[in-house]
Amino acid sequence: MGPLDGIKVLDLSRHSPGRYTSMIMADFGAEVITIETPRTGDAPALSFMFTNDTWFRYVGMNCNKKSIAVNLKHPKGQEIVHRLVDKADVLIEAFRPGAPARLGMDYETLSKRNPRLIYCAITGYGEDSPYVNRGAHDINVVALTGILGATGSKAGPPIHVISPQISDLSANCQAISSILAALYAREKTGKGQFIEVAIADGMLFFNWVMTLRYLLSGEKAERSVLPSGSDQAWLNVYRTRDDKYVALSCLEPPLWHNLCRLVGREDFIPNHFAAIDKQEEMYQELCKIFATRTRDEWLKLFDEADVAGAPVYSIEETVSDPHVAHRGLIVEVDHPKLEKVKLIKSPFRLSDTPVKPRARPPLYAENTEEILKSVVGASEKEIAQLRKEGVIE
């Protein structure tokens, strides 16, 4: 039995801030139903990224869930979701502010039907922000919160890390933490509540290092002088003889001492946190030294000398690494369209209430009929009529 066994979740979101959150809840044992948009009738057209159930984004965000397709703009579709809400514990949505009320899916409406409902609304900037009507994807949020402006080298433009989408991950952390706290609170109060997740708020909260450094000292985080994005010799990336790279982080003095002794430059030890001119000098010297051996040779020496180093991998190398294999982080499951598909295993490890084994995502709208019969109580005839009217798929 998982820790959230018996909890029912409805996910009306589309992107990873909501979808990854509900997948984590499914990992923990919750029954998660994603509310999709029918690909027929009068329902709004959506990008293939949301409707192609073999697309990697769909596959990656919907494991261990069920799928139903309902036209939320149709009164009968709204009634179906209302019936699902009556038996739900949690609802997740990521509409633009104002849209839930127009659809009859806002907290005020739904909480009257189900006072125990925990309603999690995810938006870019929050419902009362001056930017309430702005779109907000990952690059927008990391730009606004100062992260993008401090990433990369001054020799070029700011560098956006495509994956992981860190602002989306911060939203997942905000949402799952708040939902679990609300579920615990409900055990004491018997009431659900409204949760607002503003992605930009969370990203500023998680960007505490550069933000608090500025607030407390006035020191501004900037892009680096050195080409790698870091102005610290002890925290950097170095090319090896075989044109590969190693990444070092020797923050603690003992690790820095070990590195300096390993490369025969004990004279660097007193300059661990020296100013940029000395850091640049040490960086250039270390570049020459690391170019004398292969990546694997350096990695062996790092382990022997207790130096915090790692290979800079391609994703192909990552999934083939011994750590990934030993921990069983990639699993293979059967899929009705893709035959065998490899998925990322849930990282959560609980001794007494383990997470669900990774299961394939549902096909798009795969469980519509099943859910309408078991939860809503619809008959075969009613389902056929709903499908004819374009209310469901």
Answer yes or no: is pLDDT of 45 > 70.
no
Q: What pLDDT shows up at residue 77? A: 96
Task: Express each pLDDT in 292-302 by its tens digit.
Answer: 999 999 999 99
Per-residue pLDDT tens for 78-113?
999 999 999 999 999 999 888 999 999 999 999 999
Q: Tell me, what's the pLDDT at 119?
A: 98
Q: How far is CA 261 from CA 91, 269, 368, in A?
A: 56, 9, 64
Say yes or no to pLDDT of 29 above 70. yes
> Cα(136)–Cα(126) distance, rounded to whole angstroms?
11
Domains along the chain with CATH numbers: 8-205+343-388 (3.40.50.10540), 235-319 (3.30.1540.10)
**pLDDT reading at 50 higher than 90:** no
Mean pLDDT of 130-148: 93
Alpha-carbon distance of 273 to 259, in angstroms, equals: 14
Q: What is the mean pLDDT of residues 303-310?
A: 98
Cα-trace Rg, the chain: 25
Share of residues in the chain with pLDDT > 90 (%): 91
- pLDDT computed for residue 183 by the predictor: 98
C-alpha–C-alpha distance, residues 70 and 34, integer Å: 10
- Res 104: pLDDT: 94
Between residues 144 and 40, the one the model is more confident about? 144
DSSP code string of 177-190: HHHHHHHHHHHHHS
Distance of CA 15 to the CA centre of its chain: 10
Does residue 264 contact residue 248 with C-beta atoms inside 8 Å?
no
Reported as a single tens digit per residue, the pLDDT across 206-222 is 999 999 999 999 999 99
CA distance 39 to 393: 7
Average pLDDT, the chain: 95
Residue 46 has pLDDT above 80, yes or no: no
Contact between residue 229 and residue 252 where contact means Cβ atoms under 8 Å apart: no
Model pLDDT, residue 219:
93
Say if residue 366's pLDDT is above 60: yes
Question: pLDDT-derived band of residue 39, with 50, 70 and 90 as boundaries?
Answer: confident
* 43 has a pLDDT exceeding 60: no
Predicted pLDDT of residue 41: 61
Confidence of residue 255 (pLDDT cuts 50, 70, 90): very high
Given a cut of 70, is residue 44 above it in pLDDT? no
Span 259-270, mean pLDDT?
98
Distance, CA of 23 to CA of 62 (rounded, Å)? 6
DSSP category for residue 271: G
pLDDT class for 135, splitting at 50, 70, 90?
confident
Decide: 12 and 68 in contact? Cβ < 8 Å: no
Asked whether residue 326 carries a pLDDT value surpassing 60, the answer given is yes
